[in-house]
Structure 1
Amino acid sequence: MSRPEPVVTVALDPDWAAGALVADVRRGLGSQPRTLPPKWLYDDAGSDLFDRITRLPEYYPTECERAILREHADDIVSACDATTVVELGSGTSDKTRTLLDAFAAAGSLERFVPVDVSEQTLRDAAAMLSERYLAVRVEALVGDFTLHLGHLPRGGRRLVAFLGGTIGNFYVEERAAFLGALHDSLEPGDWFLLGTDLVKSTDRLIAAYDDAEGVTAAFVTNALHVLNRELGADFDVEAFSYVPFWDPRQERMDLRLRADMPHRVTIPGADLVVDLAHGEEIRVEISTKFRPERLRDELAAAGFEAERTWTDPADEFALTLARRLP
């Protein structure tokens, strides 16, 4: 069978990353409390470190989600009438292949749309996927899923998959904005498959984000290496300690870097000088954990109805299938 050639659409300005990094640094480090968006953790070194994190014995989300997909991919396919699968933040689409296999086996998969900011990763994945699924059109989109949902291909019944618990990295108002934008980009009856980490014991959570090998600490600290390299900053990386803690009020893990001494940082690429006091912290990432009722409420507020939820046997992670309401 001759396969359709993959199509790659580039919606991302090639200078986007440089401009966005400067804007984020000025906004986040130039005000109180100090923050850095987690997307800047994922340079080559950061991506390698995160891949190591997913394999750590303490870090459960990746394997829990894989297990749910292995167990329930056929149920997901049966529960919806999608012919197009869209994956946000797809990378190599590693986990999603389990879902795509189930759609393909059912004969209902006509098109796959992986979305990612890394053009080369996406081109490589698109070529591989078009070989794996000979009858499926692969229409990749190089874009930021917080900015380019309006560029998603139209037509057919779509299922948007947003896996990995990534939505937990958004603050409440950011989640609402993202879900609202997704609602506006879909048609009534389109589907949304969302992966979320669930609230669990504090000990289990702390262990997952403060592993014995120190890989997560290296991953979060890598944000400073990125600023030193990309913007000519002079962070003394050794002068910071990694501080993870559970915020019970917001029900989220809060991952920060704490200055172990007074520290003046010059960031020429952002035209910024930052004076950090001893003990002052930079929040690098949050990871919100959800309760089913809270998730249903947030989806409903954005115009989605949660129809099915699947969890792993220990109820640590969930996949929720929701439908876009008229």
Structure 2
Amino acid sequence: MPNDPGFAPHALCAETAEAALSGLTASPKTLPAKLFYDPEGCRLFYRITELPEYYLTRTETGLLRTLGRSLIPEGFHSATLVEFGGSDEAKARYLLDQRDDHRRRLFATYVPIDVAASALEDMRFRLANSHPDLAVEPIVADFVGKLALPPLGRQRMGLFPGSTIGNLDPDVAVRFLASAREALGPGSWFLLGADLRKDPAILLPAYNDSAGVTAAFNLNLLCRLNREAAADFDLRHFRHAAVWNDALSRIEMHLIASRDQVVHVAGSVIPFAEGESIHTENSYKWTRRALVAMVAAAGWEPHRIWTDSEDLFGIFLLRHA
């Protein structure tokens, strides 16, 4: 049994084990990005967003702070904001804090959807204190797929910030946007954040920071499998790698085996050759034209686009066509 901090076996979680085995027995090996977000993964990701190399969060946050009320369609009042993948209210607050000329909230209800149940509960507690007049209705679910939403009222807006759309393969992104459109219903709006295609010299450091936080975030996947999927990964024999795939316009994150080895996961034997990769995440970078074509394929109508002065990041306001 490996003697390292990454190995701490606990009770088997069938869902985690099934997701892990599905990817690790494929060729090439993969792991689903949703497994990143256990409590430690959430903590590490929040650290990533504060790193100097990680331009995405500060650029998008700057846009949200500057644009504020202008992001919300005219006439909104007591509306519902549905955030897909919302385990932290930091970005949603730029919308939730907006009020009309009579000091009434433009959004009266907030529905965050995420797989991280503990993060959602923490957020509900924070908002109960900071926004006591806001109805908060968290949903613990994987936002990719058909969703059953509570009654949303007449005015509805979806929110998908952080360039999470880039973590979905393009066909999955179209299906997600179409599913969100169906769930939100006719007359709804959607605010989408997307990282724009740019020089890899800017992109790569954002996924391979000098402090090693992104590497720890990636390797934490293996810690989670050790804990929840009866695995025995030795983290000393895997390393983080981030590469730019120009043909597919995406950053790829991998965990690379540093030697030949055998790992056990939920009773199955998983062999690794030296240099073999587990592909853990993609982050697609979009041109405006490609993203507009994608949202149109999902049935949304692009209404307005905002970008920062350096054209690093875009916020797209869509309406139900």
User: What's the CA shift string for 1:150-175, capped at 9, x where partnerless?
Assistant: 23433221001011111111112211
Matched, 1:97 2:100: no
Give the letter for the 1:289 counterpart: K
Unaligned runs of 5+ in 2: 1-11
> Which one of 104, 108, 118 corresponds to residue 116 of structure 2?
118
Pairing partner for 1:52 from 47, 53, 59: 47
Deviates further, 64-73 or 124-133: 124-133
* 1:117-156 → structure 2 map (5 Å cutoff): 117-147=115-145, 149-156=147-154
Kept in 1, the 8 Å contact 2:232–2:263? The answer is yes
> Does 2:310 align with 1:310?
no
Length, aligned pairs only: 307
Asked whether 1:184 is paired with 2:179, we answer: no
Aligned equivalents of 1:123 and 1:31: distance in 2?
35
Structure-2 residue corresponding to 1:323? 319
Report Cα offsets for 1:33-75 as digits up to 9, x if no partner.
1000112122222222111111111111111111010011111
What are the within-5 Å matches in structure 2 for residues 169-180 of structure 1?
169-180=167-178
CA distance, structure 2, for counterparts of residue 173 and residue 25 of structure 1: 22
Deviations 1:73-94 (A, max 9, x none): 1111245746111112222311
Q: Compare 132-141 and 302-311 and name the one that shifted more.
A: 132-141
Q: Is 2:289 the partner of 1:293? A: yes
Equivalent pair of 2:37/2:116 in contact (CA under 8 Å): no
Local SS of the residue matching 1:249: coil
In the TM superposition, residue 179 of structure 1 has moved relative to its aligned partner by 1.5
Aligned to 1:278: 274
Higher helix share: 1
Q: Distance in 2 between matches of 1:311 and 1:250?
A: 22
CA RMSD of aligned residues (A): 1.9
Q: C-alpha distance in 1, partners of 2:211/2:106?
A: 44
Q: Decide whether the 8 Å contact of 1:80 with 1:191 is kept in 2.
A: no
Q: Percent identity of the aligned residues? A: 38
Cα distance in 1, alignment partners of residues 47 and 124 from structure 2 = 24
Between the aligned partners of 2:235 and 2:118, the Cα distance in structure 1 is 30
Aligned to 1:12: none
Q: Please report how far the alpha carbon of residue 307 of structure 1 lies from its aligned counterpart in structure 2 after TM superposition.
A: 0.5
Q: Which residue of 2 aligns with 1:22?
A: 17
One-letter identity of the residue aligned with 1:323: R
- 2:5 aligns with none
Q: Which amino acid aligns with 1:89?
A: G
After TM superposition, give the deviation of residue 137 of structure 1 in Å.
Answer: 2.6
Q: 2-side partners of 1:57 and 1:185: how far apart?
A: 37
Unmatched tracts of structure 1, length 5 or more: 1-16
**For residues 185-264 of structure 1, what are the structure 2 equivalents within 5 Å?**
185-264=183-262
How many Å separate the matches in 1 of 2:277 and 2:216? 16
CA deviation vs aligned residue, 1:203-225 (integer Å, no higher than 9, x gap): 11111111111111111111111
| Matches of 1:315 and 1:53, distance apart in 2 | 21
Residues 116-146 of structure 1, C-alpha deviations (whole Å, 9 max, x = no match): 2333432332243244344433222222212
- Contact 1:84-1:110 within 8 A present in 2 as well: yes
Distance in 2 (CA, whole Å) between partners of 1:240 and 1:137 is 44
The 8 Å contact of residues 256 and 285 in structure 1, kept in 2 or not, is answered as yes
Aligned equivalents of 1:113 and 1:163: distance in 2? 14
TM-score normalised by the chain length of structure 2 = 0.90
State the alpha-carbon separation in 2 of the partners of residues 257 and 319 from structure 1: 31
- Residues 208 and 168 from structure 1, CA distance in 2 versus in 1: closer, same or farther, beyond 3 angstroms? same
Amino acid paired to 2:274: H
- State the SS of the aligned residue for 2:83: strand
Contact kept, 8 Å, 1:86 with 1:160, in 2: the verdict is yes
